[in-house]
Structure 1
């Protein structure tokens, strides 16, 4: 059988109608945290309150995402998403108003938390729709669909932060925050309007064993640990690359190197989804983790920004296949009634790891120089490899029967 391709996926009835607005919305989601940072910084003139507000936003998102996803799984995307989007729009408007009114730092922190807690989890909802659309008779195409999702995430985090940085540099941080909210809310509302591809809510599933309602079990716990390590890798990489190029007298090269890494990931994610791989997903996960570990170890030996650029091409190429594999393994391990929650827990773990790494890598760089930060990225990648190896048996025995629709009793 020839490999599934992206064109055939997007030609599936209803697929493009939910994927494209979700893609637009996740660009807004990728912009929001950074836009809030520059919004507060432009008003206060200092980095400390900006960091506190954006930190409160990130923590609230990590805590709130699984709770919102639980409601989505129980009552459905089309019921939960519209009020959640309105709450997010109101929270962002409140924060912008507080900043405009020169509110105190504690009030700004309190204003940032609701904006984070209400961030729409569009990536998780889009992935859940692919599973709902394909799992019955086209399950072999799910890896391709999740590869497309990983490419969509890479696009969001390439375009979004670059747009915010450009608007902030031009002196329009408020416009950046409002644009981020408009994209998130607009894309989410269009997604919610696509009722035909929405997964069946758990409240409407007549055959839903009570014992299957928790996604925090078995293979998903392993995947949460892997996503935590990925978050540490991301958080440390951004700080370390910047510190390295500054130490070599080329501060302007940081954005270029990170862009090169993202573009490498875009290409690798696209190519990964174009073919059907013979190795089982857990084995692929172990191999890609080993490749990422090798690349991060090479970063400890580089002596110039050019050499670092070659390394980030390798490490950047490993990330989208990893994200696609996380989605494949998650879909195979949990009941469909808690799938959005499971995807959201992975995202929360990654966000938590990134937040921790941002602080720890700064300390490591101060103590050991840029290579201290790269040592943290290498430790995160090596931890992923060890986790993949230790959890290989568990990941190779997914509870697939839970993910399949059961018989409906009379």
Structure 2
């Protein structure tokens, strides 16, 4: 497994975009939880906190695919630079509004601006991998590596956000998020030599990736994955507070993401002989089974292993989804397609955090975990019913992850 990743990372110029990309992506996992912690501290309501975080996520999911489409057509730097600067300004405005007890609507406005301007670094990194490795067995490896990277950010990000919010100030976590996002995004945009070539504008209208039936199915499934993230994010925060250990919220969420990280690394190194469509159904089934025990967790000691097990199916599900979508769309819509999935996760996170916040305010943390299980179960239904649309008309990526005596392919 290690040799597989090593071979991938020897790809010429890869580190030029991976390093700034990691800096810019780490804050993504801090944003939603940072908003929840800040708004809960200033308003005293998980419902409002979850709704403001949801507004940010909805804006991200709606605007994100459009920025991905613009990046495919005009180049990544053209989209990244103004977007990163706007994001920094928006987050700063959100912190000021929360700290000055401004009207609640100002929290929503600034959160929407912050979500709409989130740089789509993960999708752009995947597009750069496609530009370098399209048609090669290492491409699924790159997708797995990116999913593991995503999970790494969700291990580190919530811990950092919680530590900064509870140890220093509730607004400090968001301030650090803004700085890292701006610095990392501008550095990433500067690496123009590794960016995909711009697709020339022709007289033929550009067809959106969302018009592909299989992409629609994957978007629906990824909304459910996002709802798992969102409901757990709010519910675990409330669970830790109810247990008298509010400072452990980020650590508990990191355990959940850590299970996903470990599973993603192992999943990507295994030789899979079945189709990716079947694997997606299997991983969603495992996710539903893994989230069920959350409903009955009595204390933090039990929550740690349950959260770890719960996270095991997440990265494999996301890896498989990204592998499938790459083969479903044309070359001039790769970034957009990846961004639709990222945006779908954001939209699901919005639904999950909103309803989990409402349920938590009324009934407590444990009942809110029912939303986590329901989200995973609905996702299973979606991919089961739509599995026939997930077969690409023309495959550009080898479906089997590793290749004998060659660099293994590690498929969020």
TM-score, length of structure 2 as denominator length: 0.84
Q: C-alpha distance in 2, partners of 1:100/1:308?
A: 33
RMSD: 3.1
Aligned residue in 1 for 2:121: 122
Is 2:153 the counterpart of 1:156?
yes
Aligned residue in 2 for 1:398: 392
Q: C-alpha distance in 1, partners of 2:167/2:242?
A: 27
Q: C-alpha distance in 2, partners of 1:216/1:153?
A: 27
Compared CA separation, residues 390 and 254, structure 1 to 2 (3 A): same
Compared CA separation, residues 144 and 209, structure 1 to 2 (3 A): farther
How many angstroms does 1:45 deviate by?
A: 5.5
CA deviation vs aligned residue, 1:227-283 (integer Å, no higher than 9, x gap)? 111122222233444555666777666554433222222211112222342222111
The answer on whether the counterparts of 1:77 and 1:198 sit within 8 Å (CA) in structure 2 is yes
How many angstroms does 1:106 deviate by?
A: 2.9
Task: Tell me the number of residue pairs that the alignment of Structure 1 and Structure 2 aligns.
Answer: 397
1:231-242 matches, cutoff 5 A: 231-241=226-236
Unaligned residue ranges in structure 2 (runs of 5+): 398-412
Aligned residue in 2 for 1:183: 180
1:384-395 matches, cutoff 5 A: 384-395=379-390
Compared CA separation, residues 37 and 305, structure 1 to 2 (3 A): closer
Q: C-alpha distance in 1, partners of 2:359/2:100?
A: 38
Compared CA separation, residues 188 and 363, structure 1 to 2 (3 A): closer
Aligned residue in 2 for 1:289: 284
Is 2:68 the counterpart of 1:74?
no
Q: C-alpha distance in 2, partners of 1:89/1:360?
A: 28
Q: C-alpha distance in 1, partners of 2:34/2:363?
A: 31
Compared CA separation, residues 173 and 376, structure 1 to 2 (3 A): closer
Aligned residue in 2 for 1:202: 199
Q: C-alpha distance in 2, partners of 1:378/1:33?
A: 20
Q: C-alpha distance in 1, partners of 2:392/2:83?
A: 32
Compared CA separation, residues 241 and 276, structure 1 to 2 (3 A): same
Compared CA separation, residues 279 and 201, structure 1 to 2 (3 A): same
Between 119-128 and 214-223, report the one with greater CA deviation. Answer: 214-223
The answer on whether the counterparts of 1:145 and 1:273 sit within 8 Å (CA) in structure 2 is no
1:221-240 matches, cutoff 5 A: 221-240=216-235
Structure number, greater radius of gyration: 1
Compared CA separation, residues 222 and 16, structure 1 to 2 (3 A): same
Q: Secondary structure at the match of 2:349?
A: helix
Q: Secondary structure at the match of 1:202?
A: coil
Aligned residue in 1 for 2:339: 344
Between 98-107 and 353-362, report the one with greater CA deviation. Answer: 98-107
Q: C-alpha distance in 2, partners of 1:375/1:133?
A: 42
Q: C-alpha distance in 2, partners of 1:350/1:23?
A: 19
Q: C-alpha distance in 1, partners of 2:381/2:256?
A: 24
1:5-404 matches, cutoff 5 A: 5-39=4-38, 44=42, 46-47=44-45, 53-98=52-97, 103-136=102-135, 138=136, 140-203=137-200, 210=205, 212-241=207-236, 254-300=249-295, 305-362=300-357, 364=359, 372-395=367-390, 397-400=391-394
Q: C-alpha distance in 2, partners of 1:287/1:209?
A: 39
Compared CA separation, residues 241 and 164, structure 1 to 2 (3 A): closer
The answer on whether the counterparts of 1:213 and 1:337 sit within 8 Å (CA) in structure 2 is no
Compared CA separation, residues 36 and 308, structure 1 to 2 (3 A): closer
Q: C-alpha distance in 2, partners of 1:77/1:128?
A: 10
Q: C-alpha distance in 1, partners of 2:77/2:119?
A: 13
Q: C-alpha distance in 2, partners of 1:84/1:108?
A: 20
